[in-house]
Amino acid sequence: MKRTANAQWTGDLKSGKGTVSTASGVLESTPYSFTTRFEDGKGTNPEELLAAAHAGCFTMALSAQLAGAGLVATSLATVCTITFEKLADGFAITESHLHLTAKVPGASKEAFETAVNNAKSGCPVSKLYKTNITLEFTLEP
């Protein structure tokens, strides 16, 4: 299985602009630029897309882990925050933080925590990242 996206760019870094598109058509000529990456311009940026990918992948992986334990969530809500910093050797993504709020009827704290940790380490996007991945979670009644 392969998935495809493309990026187009025109101009220099600060005044240039570009678009990203996905083969599925969910993103089609979505704008990105210096201002959308380093300021608050309208459009997307690579870090936002990485955050969406990690949140989605982790949440799906958790659903699979719960199913393996005989559990079904009524709600899994994950927010991923990517930290993008300037370091001595240039810019880097230094952390991907996952914040999960879940409702899983019948889940013990131990079974839920095991499923969450397995999803964090087993999610294909987590495996791709070479950065610190942190996680906090709440299991609601």
Per residue in 72-111, pLDDT (tens digit) is 999 999 999 999 999 999 999 999 999 999 999 999 999 9
pLDDT in tens, 5-24: 999 999 999 999 999 999 99
pLDDT at 80: 97
Q: Contact, 19 vs 8, CB < 8 A?
A: yes
Q: Contact, 96 vs 51, CB < 8 A?
A: yes
pLDDT at 23: 95
pLDDT at 16: 96
Phi and psi at 17, nearest 5°, equal -155, 160
- Does the pLDDT of residue 132 top 90, yes or no? no
pLDDT at 108: 95
Q: What is the pTM of this model?
A: 0.90
Write the DSSP symbol of residue 13: T
pLDDT in tens, 25-82: 999 999 999 999 999 889 999 999 999 999 999 999 999 999 999 999 999 999 999 9
Phi and psi at 2, nearest 5°, equal -130, 145
pLDDT at 141: 83
Distance CA 57, CA 44 (A): 19
The structural domains of the chain, with segments of one domain joined by +, span 5-38, 46-140
- What is the fold, at CATH topology level, of the domain defined by 46-140? GMP Synthetase; Chain A, domain 3 (3.30.300)
Helical (H) or strand (E) element with 44: none
